[in-house]
Structure 1
Amino acid sequence: MYRIVFLLLSSLLLVSCLNKKADTIDLPYYNEPDFTPIFLTNTSEMESKIKHTIADFSFLDQDSTLISQKKIEGKIHIANFIFTTCGSICPKMTTNLKIVNDSLKNHSDIVLLSYSVTPWIDTPSVLKKYKAKNKITNPNWHFLTGSKNDIYSLARKSYFAEEDIGFSKDSNEFLHTEHFILVDKTKRIRGIYNGTLELEMQQMLDDIKTLEKENN
């Protein structure tokens, strides 16, 4: 009798631990442009404590296909901000994001969004040539162009692309940032990385794996 009770209690504890593990959140959330991390103990706290999400958007990619928030709904995505005539940090950022891209080529639920900060220059055809030049074939890596005001507002207000320093800027001030931003399936920011540092790409890959487990 005691053995049966012991086994029942052990089973209940095991199930409880497994449920707790499944509900555990290992990556922080970010609500503000100062990127102060907010750690939650379980997913039930998310809706009440994490109010900031990426706003809806709609831009053309290199194939003149309309890419919107609805198009990537329920997917993890990585965002960065480049321009094709950039001779400083952008080539390095693209090279480093390719490292991430190559490691995720079998992950159809991961989307990469490279927004142009000179959309008046970077038309879809220019972006198509840029993607080809960099030997990028992943159909889930989109190079986006559109309204400058819309891109700059999304970058600064939604992605916190320049952190605190950029949050109060307007669209007349040029946007230039080395940051990669990791966004989860609920449109919430979960990571920020220096896109010029190859070492940080491995950290991003590790964090993506954590996110994938979190959402399973």
Structure 2
Amino acid sequence: MYRTVFLRISFFCFLFSLLACADNDKTERLPYYNSPDFTPIFLKTDDEANRKITHQIANFSCIDQHGNIITQKDIIGKVHVASFIFTSCGSICPIITKNMKLLQNEFKNDKNVVMLSYSVTPWIDDVERLKVYAQVNKINAANWHLLTGKKYDIYKLARQSYFAEEDLGFTKDSTQFLHTEHILLVDKNRKIRGIYNGTLELEADQLIKDIKTLEKE
């Protein structure tokens, strides 16, 4: 009798553990974002995402603070984070950079994570200016690239690929200045998986957790 009761209890404990694991897997998988309004889309598998999520970060080519050409080849198969700043900004950019440094501290030696900070005044922020900005702000991780290039290319990439804008779902004309506190999280397949307020340390902490979640997928 006691043995039967014990076996039943063991069986239900095992079943509960399986269900709990399934629930954890479900809740830990980050949503996808397929449009500028950032409506979250929750999917269970990569195959399902490949069928239903059509949006990806487009190909690009920029130059970083070391004079190196950075393209989509540098992010394929890796989780990457994108922010948009300019070196002469005296408002939100220093705060965004400060919070991005939390990511630097966490993922500095992680070859599966890349941090990209695009300049929104690339006609001013040349390689030398970005290099000085990196030195002043102690940006020293090999996987953190401060990027410059042609304004049209960066603005098109920012607005059409990353959906980076101050007002979600609203796409301004490419001639209008781009200034946003949003930081975007992109997975190994160049699909957007998160959006965060770069001026809030709490959001940066959540971003760190979400990066680790993506690395496990």
Q: TM-score range by the shorter chain?
A: 0.7 to 0.9
Letter aligned with residue 127 of structure 1? L
Q: How far apart are the structure 2 equivalents of 1:38 and 1:163?
A: 21
Change (3 A) 1:108 1:187: same
Change (3 A) 1:161 1:205: same
Counting only pairs closer than 5 Å after superposition, residues 157-176 of structure 1 correspond to structure 2 as: 157-162=160-165, 167-176=170-179
Counterpart in the other structure of 2:118: 115
**TM-score for both structures, normalised by structure 2:** 0.86
Q: Where in structure 1 do 4 or more consecutive aligned residues deviate above 4 Å?
A: 19-25, 163-167
Letter aligned with residue 187 of structure 1? R
1:99 correspondence with 2:102: yes
Letter aligned with residue 183 of structure 2? F
Q: Deviations over 1:173-193 (max 9, x none)?
A: 000000000000000000000
1:28 correspondence with 2:25: no
Letter aligned with residue 182 of structure 1? L
2:131 to 108, 128, 133: 128
Gaps of 5+ in 1: 1-9
Kindly report the root-mean-square deviation, in angstroms, between the aligned alpha carbons of the 2 structures.
2.3
Change (3 A) 1:58 1:166: farther
Shift of residue 157, structure 1, vs aligned partner: 0.4
Q: How many aligned residue pairs are there?
A: 203
Q: Deviations over 1:81-100 (max 9, x none)?
A: 00000000000000010011
Shift of residue 22, structure 1, vs aligned partner: 10
SS in 1 for 2:176: coil
Q: How far apart are the structure 2 equivalents of 1:193 and 1:145?
A: 22
Shift of residue 64, structure 1, vs aligned partner: 1.2
Letter aligned with residue 128 of structure 2? S
Letter aligned with residue 127 of structure 2? P
**TM-score for both structures, normalised by structure 1:** 0.87
Change (3 A) 1:188 1:204: same
Letter aligned with residue 49 of structure 1? K
Shift of residue 165, structure 1, vs aligned partner: 5.0
1:66 to 66, 69, 72: 69
Counterpart in the other structure of 1:50: 53
Letter aligned with residue 87 of structure 1? G
Contact 2:80–2:187 (CA under 8 A) maintained in structure 1: yes
Letter aligned with residue 76 of structure 1? V
Gaps of 5+ in 2: 1-10
SS in 2 for 1:103: helix
Shift of residue 42, structure 1, vs aligned partner: 2.0
Letter aligned with residue 44 of structure 2? T
Aligned-pair identity (%):
61
SS in 1 for 2:47: helix
Shift of residue 21, structure 1, vs aligned partner: 8.2
